[in-house]
Structure 1
Amino acid sequence: MPVPKDEFDRLPPCDFYTPDELLESDHMYTVYEIARLLQGLDPDAEIDRETEDILLDWAIPWIMTNANDLVVAEPRTDEEPGYYGLKP
């Protein structure tokens, strides 16, 4: 059910990083690493599975929205996820 805005103390703008602001041009990142970076965490930060699932809810649409600025690499092994990086 919708909630009135006045029930919240703060309503900052819904701004997301651009790919250039978030990713290093000479690196490739998994969706899990991108999810952490979007939250200001180190890409290797240890987080619990439940938190990671929530962060992925933000990262997947971000990747889709910014697809024109990204390249994708197939996993190197069956156990590894795919990688994303800045388009040259």
Structure 2
Amino acid sequence: MARDDPQFRIRLPADLKAWVEESATQNSRSLNAEIVHILMSARAHAGKGKMPTEKDLQSLSPNFSELLRICNRLADEVEELVQERRQLRKENDR
């Protein structure tokens, strides 16, 4: 990766960040390199434009099932927040 590659900020739950940091340490990579490695591995397993299955993700690393659990939990939390915001808008429109 070159220094001129695009950059972006990302917010992660503390437990997910700790997991990625531990994985990076175990694999002798920087945090950035570990995240890139995980994403590239997922893309390689995904095939031609397919999203990886849960089984694909679990085969990448024993810790991926935990990552998947966290991602699913976050998706649920986002959906709850969206529903709460819709409810508040309805109440404010009255």
TM-score for the superposition, normalised by structure 1:
0.27
| Higher radius of gyration, 1 or 2 | 2
Structure ranking higher in helix proportion: 2
Higher relative contact order (CA 8 A, sep 6+): 1
Q: Normalization by structure 2: what TM-score? A: 0.26
More strand, by proportion: 1
